[in-house]
């Protein structure tokens, strides 16, 4: 039986976690998604396709798949959720095909949660590399798709509508990304747009939820905090987005300095701005050292193409951590192994003795080196599985080391 409950009733019960919007109603079974108490200590995130233990790393399945590896293998490996790119999915397979397939979970045979990004970061990268490929205005983004495709328009409303229609478990509002070193005027405009777009995205999300006939769980709605390296702009952006009210937030913008080091102080500041009960997604952060650093600051979700891309390029992650000593206190808890190096040609040991991934369980470094050298697709598969297993192990260790809330 469905009991309709208003936001104001929820607000009375749950306080500031609920954003009041007159006349908006939600099915009763949606309450747990916006019940702040369910995120207490933020050790777990509830989504329509299951709960995520936090902090969690989500591999990037940019075009719906983690390159070279199928969803069954990822689930067996213990991958908790995937991030998919709206920017790419709108081009291929396209919204019509995804709808016909029954959404992302059905199309890609993936039963666990899916987070879809808004496309803002990809559009930003594309347009900044080549301004003739698109433009950003207050209305949204316009960019040229892949060869032969029509120009794509992303408005704050369309971005939310697509993600909801695709069946995403976490929907991210459209944002305007900047580089930390971009001029102040550019950062200011990006923050203003990000706030305005988040407001429009939330309104559209609520409209879609109230019009929804299915009783399936409500997806989470996240907004991204921009502001580059400007503390004041980050504060304004976070406060405005918190006032609009979302289920979680993301750290937006390029997170590294020119030396490739994390912008630690600004990243720490953004976490301070967002109350601890909200999940905070460190978008695009995937270097093991950076994951650990951000997790220690209180970031709870991570996604990056780095571990899987590195694997395909022959850069493999090797776990070296000692038990019983926190990772942050260890000098070298992992290393990189370059499988293309000649030293591995006759090495019959597994990549990593303690690893339980399908590669290390069955095959030697010599086997993997050979496959890498002849460019066999199996190399990509097994190397990718290994690096993902490494990150899974890292996240388990971080969760184990963190005090439970
Ligand atoms: Zn392995």
Phi then psi for residue 223, to 5 deg, are: -125, 155
Mean pLDDT (whole number) for 115-137? 89
Among 30, 60, 169, 303, the active-site one is: 303
- Sole residue written with tokens 């609009």: 244
Residue 357 CA to ligand 1 centre (angstroms): 4
pLDDT value at residue 384: 98
- Name the helix (H) or strand (E) containing 231: helix 231-244
Predicted confidence (pLDDT) per residue in 131-177, tens digit: 988 999 999 999 887 766 778 899 999 999 999 999 999 999 999 99
Residue 318 CA to ligand 1 centre (angstroms): 8
DSSP 262: B
Helices and strands counted in the chain (H then E): 16, 17
Predicted confidence (pLDDT) per residue in 239-285, tens digit: 999 999 999 999 999 899 888 899 999 999 999 999 999 999 999 99
What is the CATH code of the structural domain delimited by 31-304?
A: 3.20.20.105
Among 117, 175, 247, 310, the active-site one is: 117
Which residues lie closer than 8 Å to 321 by C-beta, 6 or more apart? Answer: 327, 330, 333, 334, 397
Residue 138 CA to ligand 1 centre (angstroms): 47
DSSP 66: B
pLDDT value at residue 147: 65
Strands (E), 91-145: 114-117, 134-137, 140-143
Which residues lie closer than 8 Å to 399 by C-beta, 6 or more apart? Answer: 43, 53, 54, 55
pLDDT value at residue 37: 33
Residue 353 CA to ligand 1 centre (angstroms): 8
Decide if pLDDT at 56 tops 70: yes
Mean pLDDT (whole number) for 60-72? 96
Predicted confidence (pLDDT) per residue in 173-204, tens digit: 999 999 888 999 999 999 999 999 999 999 99
Domain locations in the chain as residue ranges: 31-304, 313-401
- What are the Cα distances from residue 298, in Å, to 63, 188, 290, 292? 29, 26, 12, 10
- What are the Cα distances from residue 258, in Å, to 184, 225, 261? 18, 21, 7
70 is catalytic: no
Residue 360 CA to ligand 1 centre (angstroms): 4
CA Rg value for the chain: 21
Mean pLDDT (whole number) for 283-292? 96
Please state, in angstroms and rounded to a whole number, the distance separating the CA atoms of residues 122 and 404: 35
35 is catalytic: no
């Amino acid at each position: 039986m469905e009991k309709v409950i208003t936001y104001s009733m929820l607000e009375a019960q749950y306080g500031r976690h609920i954003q009041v919007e007159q006349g908006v109603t939600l099915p009763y079974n949606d309450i747990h998604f916006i019940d702040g108490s369910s995120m207490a200590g933020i050790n777990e995130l509830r989504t329509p396709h299951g709960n995520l233990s936090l902090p969690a790393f989500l591999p990037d399945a940019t075009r719906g798949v983690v390159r070279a590896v199928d969803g069954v293998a990822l689930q067996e490996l213990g991958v908790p959720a995937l991030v998919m790119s709206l920017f790419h999915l709108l081009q291929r397979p396209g919204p019509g095909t995804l709808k016909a397939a029954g959404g992302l979970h059905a199309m890609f045979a993936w039963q666990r949660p899916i987070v879809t990004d808004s496309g803002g970061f990809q559009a930003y990268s594309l347009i900044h590399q080549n301004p003739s490929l698109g433009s950003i205005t207050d209305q949204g983004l316009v960019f040229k798709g892949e060869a032969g495709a029509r120009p794509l328009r992303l408005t704050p409303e369309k971005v939310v509508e697509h993600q909801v229609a695709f069946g995403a478990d976490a929907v991210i509002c459209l944002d305007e990304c900047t580089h930390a070193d971009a001029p102040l005027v550019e950062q200011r405009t990006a923050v203003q747009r990000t706030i305005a777009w988040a407001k429009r995205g939330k309104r559209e999300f609520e409209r879609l939820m109230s019009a929804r006939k299915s009783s399936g769980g409500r997806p989470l709605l996240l907004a991204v905090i921009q502001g580059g390296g400007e503390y004041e702009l980050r504060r304004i952006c976070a406060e405005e987005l918190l006032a609009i009210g979302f289920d979680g937030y993301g750290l937006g913008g390029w997170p590294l300095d020119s030396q490739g080091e994390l912008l630690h102080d600004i990243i720490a500041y953004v976490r301070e701005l967002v109350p601890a009960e909200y999940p905070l997604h460190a978008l695009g952060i995937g270097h093991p050292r950076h994951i650990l650093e951000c997790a220690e600051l209180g970031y709870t979700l991570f996604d990056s193409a780095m571990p899987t891309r590195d694997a395909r390029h022959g850069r493999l992650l090797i776990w070296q951590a000692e038990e019983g000593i926190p990772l942050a206190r260890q000098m070298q808890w992992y290393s990189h192994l370059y499988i293309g190096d000649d030293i591995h040609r006759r090495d019959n040991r597994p990549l990593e003795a303690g690893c339980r991934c399908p590669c290390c369980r069955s095959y030697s470094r010599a086997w993997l080196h050979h496959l890498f050298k002849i460019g066999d697709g199996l190399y990509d598969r097994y190397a990718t599985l290994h690096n993902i297993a490494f990150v899974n192990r890292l996240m388990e260790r971080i969760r184990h080391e963190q005090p439970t809330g």
